[in-house]
Chain A
């Protein structure tokens, strides 16, 4: 109770601070008066009495300080006072304050932006019960390293096997992101969703807002399809009406009752892809018959999330799972697989990993670029700190008398340092607040940049507690970095001398200013060189010869049955503006692969499939603009029942025949599970398949009409008149061909673009932040030189008076700047080299030590620096000796 009262009194005291401060002043003066009067009575002269009384008091500031500290809550009060004093001072120099706050806002905002995305994508836990307890189970080779050779996704049967281990797991389930066609035939849209097994929601331990979540019974064979919807979907589609539960959604033409709404904030376990509609795996064939084969044992597509029973150690759990797998693997591995492949899978071992933050392919793609981006924005912040430290140092110079006076009045050095730090903190807090607001918008822009048509990202990057904690820590660290040195330098003075001479630039200040500018130059060089490497990388990839011409080609996925349907392609080909149409199971860079065992006839068929296979229709090469190096393309005659034929790419021909012209050669294959021979009709140019960084793999093209089973087919349309109008032209035909299925048309170029999205981001942001670093460091140099010129007006005046000419002065001033830049460049080159080695796996077609990039970075930086030094130097060169000398 008393403690509470004291604290309240302390807070009230802080508010009253001002008044009680004045009272204390008057009281101490009274003390001195009374004491002096006594001493006078004792016989001292009035002057001596007063002097003695003042000595006895020992410095008004010091006593005040002790009184403040002695009060309860004195610390709060002092911080409050320092802060208010700081705000008052900063308001007196609004331009200075605005520049500092804006610089900090940009630098801190950039850090908060990148960190928000890092947080949302890499760090954040799912909003479920005790996410730290959750694990995921993968199968790995026994000799696998931490991240190599793991099979992160499992088959439906494997998931069942692990979920049945009730002595190990309190609950276990699995999930996979999915897209459902929702709505009536004429208004169908594709809705992001998830397919989950029965134990999924139980393992997560979450509660529905309305109705119920999916249960193990929903995932039993023959159970009716039911759906759980997300909070967002509930809001958009049903305006949060509770009677949404019980209504039905038309999913893939099947009526699926909604049984519940997932809790607010939970949108599935696949980060970045919200599950608006969630359906049990066993019900998949009812809503998406094409995808029914996913439930078969040969398809690995589900990611496990499980809650181990309490008290089981991870080692124990892993050992028990291994035993389970050894015992039962044989029963869950696809029975129709070749014995060798079955043995390979059976030899894998189950491994546990934390599962509480869900999963996303985005992490693989963006982890490295995001960490590099954090490094970049961190460096920008360092440059900003050095810049502002220089600014504060020069500002402190103009306040030297004020500080000297305060020190002389008995304020301790630490006291004045703290006051200066408080000013810094006020600036940092203002900058951080503005930066956080900027980041809220900018992180959305960053996510939009990362999002591609192939991998759309829907993620909440709003600042959470972790982001706020990060910003707070950054703001605190920033304050220390940019305010401590100026405060220490500014207070390392002898007040007597300072007040007597009227203040001259201190040597240590000059040295610090120089070091700060060189430091900025060095860091800016690192960022510029890095930006150069990333821009070169992006440019190399963009101009990479893909072997085909993506411009003017649109792609759209069709239902697999259209692979053998002869009506869609001619219908599209008849449309105005369409110049070529074809079908394919895969398109270059669309992220899918299919492999088969195909070798020259006479050689034994390998157990493992190592040849990439693509099923294509007639006209594929024309539509893509892909060159044939020899032979002919497939025609209408290469149909089902015709002689089995194939086209190989150059890489295949070279790998298996050591020559390119292999037309007419015979190949042995097991496509469709049936061993048979193929005749090579033609040889195609290489195209990249899974990205430009990987050499085009040996590839075989097969007539789509001759494939016994097709699970996925894409139509490719080349036309004139721009992608948007072409899309409008072909859309009605595609809709008519497959009623009840959502039609999504995308330019092939966007697939190509998506494959270099991470490089684009690094080039764009690396370049942007490189420019910002350049701007900051040249501003810093300019400010330093301008300050130096102002300080040395007198000296320059004398030089001019003694006969120095303008050009000589110019050389003198620019020369000093050049020295600082030279030191910065000398330090920056090795730093840049180290930094580029760190990012070398992200580069393409350019080495970390690329001399052109390094030279350009140095050239850009030096040119900017010379311009920055030139302006104040010109002013110096025009110094009028009379004005300069009168200035004293």
Chain B
């Protein structure tokens, strides 16, 4: 299963994207990875070796809460949900990211 012309996920942004996806509602790990691929227009593909460590770390930090539930096709899966702390983290990340992109855009245009 090669993944031609997929983009590398820029370092530090995976957390932001996961939080954003989960802000719309609880999802399991596979769902997060699918949503991320879909939302990025197939440009990003996160592999489980990066996805799960990030999910676990966010959970350990209290940004996410996980519980087992039934998936769409009635399988047991672990669903992640944003906690209030996670929501605040998302806001912070977001405004930061907005500034970063503005700044980069400024540099690129002014050059």
Q: Does A133 contact B (CB under 8 A)?
A: no
Instruction: Contacts A35-B30, A58-B49, A67-B52 given; indicate if A27 touches B1 (C-beta within 8 A).
Output: no
Contact of A27 among B31, B47, B78 (CB under 8 A): B78
Chain B residues in 8 Å Cβ range of A52: 1
Q: For chain A residues 29-72, which have a beta carbon within 8 Å of chain B?
A: 30-31, 33-35, 37-38, 52, 55-58, 62-63, 66-67, 69-72
Binary per-residue interface labels of chain B (47-80) against chain A in the complex, 1 for a CB within 8 Å, 0 otherwise: 1111011101100110000000001010111100
- The answer to whether A72 touches B60 (Cβ under 8 A) is yes
Find A23's partner among B71, B75, B78 (CB 8 Å cutoff). B78
Closest to A39 in B: B1
* A822 CB, nearest partner CB in chain B, Å: 53
Known: A9-B60, A34-B77. A56 touches B52 (CB 8 A): no
The interface size of chain A toward B, counting residues with CB under 8 Å, comes to 28
Q: Is A766 an interface residue (CB 8 A)?
A: no
B28 with A30: CB separation less than 8 A: yes
B residues at A contact (CB < 8 Å): 1, 28-31, 34, 47-50, 52-54, 56-57, 60-61, 71, 73, 75-78
Q: Which residues of A contact B57 (CB under 8 A)?
A: 70-72
Looking at chain A's contact residues, the main secondary structure is helix
Contact A38 B34, beta carbon cutoff 8 Å? yes
Chain A neighbourhood of B61, CB < 8 A: 6, 72
* 16 pairs, CB–CB < 8 Å, chain A vs chain B: A6-B60, A9-B60, A26-B76, A27-B77, A34-B28, A34-B71, A56-B47, A58-B48, A62-B49, A63-B48, A66-B49, A66-B50, A67-B52, A71-B56, A71-B57, A72-B61
In contact, A31 and B75 (Cβ under 8 angstroms): no
The 5 A-B pairs with the shortest beta carbon distances in the complex, nearest first, are: A70-B53, A34-B30, A30-B77, A27-B78, A67-B53
Task: Determine if B77 and A66 form an interchain contact, defined as CB atoms under 8 angstroms apart.
Answer: no
B65 to chain A, nearest CB (A): 14
Are B53's CB and A66's CB within 8 A? yes
Q: How far is the CB of B66 from chain A (nearest CB, A)?
A: 9
User: Binary interface profile of A, 825-842, with partner B (CB < 8 Å = 1, else 0)?
Assistant: 000000000000000000
| Minimum distance in angstroms from A515 CB to a CB of chain B | 39
Shortest CB-to-CB span from A70 to chain B, Å, is 3
Cβ–Cβ < 8 Å partners of B48 in chain A: 28, 31, 56-58, 63
Q: Are A31 and B56 in contact (CB under 8 A)?
A: no
Which of A24, A30, A37, A70 meets B54, CB within 8 Å? A70
**How many whole Å from A320's CB to the nearest CB in chain B?**
65
- Chain B residues, CB < 8 A from A72: 57, 60-61
C-alpha spacing A34/B52, complex, angstroms: 15
Assess whether B75 is in contact with A30, with CB atoms less than 8 Å apart.
yes
Q: Decide if A817 is an interface residue (CB 8 Å cutoff).
A: no
Cα-based distance from A37 to B75 in the complex (angstroms) = 10
Separation of A248 and B78 alpha carbons in the complex (Å): 82
Shortest distance between the CB of A53 and any CB in chain B (Å) = 9
* B29 CB to nearest chain A CB (Å): 5
Cβ of B92 to closest chain A Cβ, rounded Å: 14
Interface residue A588 (Cβ < 8 Å from any Cβ of B)? no
A30 touches B53 (CB 8 A): no
A13 on the interface (CB 8 Å rule)?
Answer: yes
Q: Which of B34, B47, B49, B57 gathers the greatest number of chain A CB atoms within 10 Å? A: B49
Q: For residue B1, which residues in chain A have a CB less than 8 angstroms away from its CB?
A: 52, 55-56
Listed residue (A34, A37, A38, A58) with the most chain B CB atoms within 10 angstroms of its CB: A34
Residue of B nearest to A12 (CB): B60
Across the interface, which residues of B come within 8 angstroms of A30, CB to CB? Answer: 28-30, 71, 75-78
